[in-house]
Structure 1
Amino acid sequence: MPPESESSPNFWGDMREEEYYTSQGVRNTKSYFETPSGKLFTQSFIPLDLPVRATVYMSHGYGSDTGWLFQKICINFATWGYAVFAADLLGHGRSDGLRCYLGDMEKVAAASLSFFVHTRNSEPYRHLPAFLFGESMGGAATMLMYFQSEPNTWTGLIFSAPLFVMPENMKPSKVRLFAYGLMFGMADTWAVMPDNKMVGKAIKDPEKLKIIASNPRRYTGPPRVGTMRELARVCQYIQDNFSKVTAPFLTVHGTADGVTCPTSSTLLYEKAASEDKSLKMYEGMYHSLIQGEPDENANVVLRDMKEWIDERVARYGQNRS
């Protein structure tokens, strides 16, 4: 990855996008999707030379977007024979909404879900296995999408360092939230909450940290009042409803994650009702398992994800009429 990426339109440098994606073995398309809550920027990553065996619907983390380094996850899955679809969450990237304001996570999740379900039910994908994938805060959004979905919509779920349990140092002060709450909602969008420098705690590889920090669409302001209030609420809601998870799932976490508690994954694994559930813990790895770890570590995580999804596609196959 070139150090001049700070001044380049893409993390890989100045190579034309179509040329880059072709070199990676995928076809990329970009479009916008209208939802009742606003317009979403969406991308697809389709394998060039492989038959599509299943579809995967991906959601990124807080302050991020589906471009820049997140799409490396999308590209990897596409090179394994999966059609990948991703959407910038409302308030993120090139989608509508106030930057990084997540005052109603149910609405944020429903917007992305409307695009995912529309694609999932379209030709030629409607008969194929379909998986939801969520990274970090996108894991919480993905879990809300799962709860909002009709039964049997999804073949399985994949979570990478999901946000289901907030570390103590990340939890918003109840006193501060109460004080802002007395202002009749006027303070909900204010970007005034303490910033715990999450990026530095997420990325282990210093060169990748530089590249991620140079993403022109990354949100760098302080967290908004309503965002932190809502994330705390949603985490508790998800914890209270782990037992409602019945779909096959894989959840992975680094033991040295300083952004989302590793107990997010262990509690899900312990409390979910799914008969087919898998947990992978990576000793000493940070939060960003694929984008931010040294390549040798990231490749271990990707290998485990590939083995898991390949096995589920073979196991469950085209079981949808």
Structure 2
Amino acid sequence: MPSEAESSANSAPATPPPNFWGNMPEEEYYTSQGVRNTKSYFETPNGKLFTQSFLPLDGEIKGTVYMSHGYGSDTSWMFQKICMSFSTWGYAVFAADLLGHGRSDGIRCYMGDMEKVAATSLAFFKHVRCSEPYKDLPAFLFGESMGGLVTLLMYFQSEADTWTGLMFSAPLFVIPEDMKPSKAHLFAYGLLFGLADTWAAMPDNKMVGKAIKDPEKLKIIASNPQRYTGKPRVGTMRELLRKTQYVQENFGRVTIPVFTAHGTADGVRASPMVFLSEVLKKSLA
């Protein structure tokens, strides 16, 4: 029979590893993946951003990729896997925690002004894009989920020849009907003259669980110490509703190549694929 102390030790939850890949030291892990990682902070008029770069250890750099993560996430957990993949393909990769996310400044997961959020990340991306040795290389914007929406807003804020192409992974361009915030709730909170904008008071529809089906991946995502787990903020949902409608009405302004990847079982973001298919049909008509 195990002792009481042994039983308590066996029933105690395991301490989560410090990184999504486990306990291997960061520098050692990055080297094993063939990349060199740096971390820093970038000052902007809207606040300080936590930024990262992922550069290939060997070979010539063929281009640059500027990457934005999704809602409630950051650049220091599983999102790095995508960044490192591009780096091993020969690209210099730069990523920033969105304003209000991860280790960047701002109210946690408050996106009440998405144009401001986009402009803040864009300030860092353009700073790198225009610097040596990257200014003459092809440059791509990449956005995942809500980061796709922010990425498209960055494109609309940029000069015409700034970017070579746009890449999206399951972009949030359309909110499915069963995921849309209640108009009655938004109207009621609106009567408070903005006082409720930062309140974490909107229903939580468990978007991550509907978008990702792999249970092991969900466990890793849930263990992210930087991840926002509170209810959506009033201003965030209001702005998502407004800006998804805006990009639907303005997608025709995109004049550079676009690549979009999407999972067929994604229960949150299937609608954007229908939307993008319709856009493509119209452009080919």
Of 192, 195, 199 in structure 2, the residue corresponding to residue 186 of structure 1 is 195
2:262 counterpart SS class: strand
In structure 2, give the amino acid aligned to 1:206. Answer: P
Cα deviation digits, residues 175-216 of structure 1 (max 9, x gap):
100000000100000001000111211222111111111000
Q: TM-score, normalised by structure 2?
A: 0.92
The residue number in structure 2 matching 1:228 is 237
> Does 2:147 match 1:138?
yes
* Matching residue within 199, 216, 223 for 1:214: 223
**Which SS does the other structure have where 1:254 is aligned?**
coil
Out of 256, 264, 272, the position equivalent to 2:272 is 264
2:97 corresponds to: 88
Q: Contact 2:212/2:266 (CA < 8 Å) preserved in 1?
A: no
- Equivalent of residue 158 in structure 1, options 157, 162, 167: 167
Matches within 5 A, 1:293-312: none
SS at match of 2:94: strand
- Matched residues in 2 for 1:212 and 1:127: separation? 36
Q: State the Cα distance separating 1:265 from its structure 2 match.
A: 3.2
User: Matched residues in 2 for 1:266 and 1:190: separation?
Assistant: 32
> Following TM superposition, by how much is the alpha carbon of 1:274 offset from its aligned partner in structure 2, in angstroms?
11
**Is 66-75 or 9-18 further displaced after alignment?**
9-18
Residue type at the aligned position of 1:271: V
**Stretch deviating more after TM superposition (152-161 or 250-259):** 250-259
The match for 1:290 is none
In structure 1, the gaps of 5 or more residues are: 277-321
Match of 2:5 in 1: none
Structure 1 residue 267, shift from structure 2 partner: 2.3
Assess if the C-alpha contact under 8 Å between 2:83 and 2:93 holds in 1. yes
Q: Distance in 1 between matches of 2:14 and 2:119?
A: 34
CA 1:256–1:143 in 2, change beyond 3 Å: closer, same or farther?
same
Matched residue type, 1:91: G
Residue 53 of structure 2 corresponds to: 44
Deviation per CA, 1:289-308, whole angstroms, max 9, x where unpaired?
xxxxxxxxxxxxxxxxxxxx
1:64/1:5 CA distance change after superposition, 3 Å: farther
Q: Of the candidates 15, 22, 28, which is equivalent to residue 24 of structure 2? A: 15
Q: Is the 8 A contact 1:129 1:154 kept in 2?
A: yes
Change (3 A) 1:120 1:275: farther
Which deviations, in whole Å up to 9, do the C-alpha atoms of 1:102-121 show, x marking residues without a partner? 00000000000010000000
Distance (whole Å) between structure 2 residues aligned to residue 141 and residue 177 of structure 1: 22
Q: Please, what TM-score do these two structures have when normalized by structure 1?
A: 0.82
Q: 1:54 aligns with which of 63, 66, 75?
A: 63
For residues 260 and 278 of structure 2, the distance between their equivalents in structure 1, rounded to whole angstroms, comes to 12
Is 1:196 matched with 2:237? no
In the alignment, what sits opposite 2:75?
66
One-letter code of the match for 1:205? D
- 2:36 alignment counterpart: 27
**Structure 2 unaligned runs (5+)?**
1-12
Match of 1:313 in 2: none
Partner Cα distance (1:45, 1:227) in 2: 30
Residue matched to 1:174: 183
2:129 maps to 120
**What CA distance in whole angstroms lies between the structure 2 residues aligned with 1:270 and 1:169?**
21
DSSP 3-state at the match of 2:255: coil
Counterpart for residue 8 of structure 2: none
What is the CA-CA distance between 1:72 and the residue it aligns to?
A: 0.1
**Over residues 112-147 of structure 1, what are the superposed CA-to-partner deviations in whole Å (9 max), with x where a residue is unaligned?**
001000000000000000000000000000000000
Instruction: Count how many residue pairs are aligned between Structure 1 and Structure 2.
Output: 272
For the residues of structure 1 that align with 2:252 and 2:207, how far apart are their CA atoms?
30
Q: For the pair shown, which has the larger CA radius of gyration, 1 or 2?
A: 2
**Which residue of structure 2 lines up, in the alignment, with residue 319 of structure 1?**
none
1:118 is paired with a residue whose SS is: helix
Deviation at 1:271, TM superposition (A): 2.4
Identity %: 75
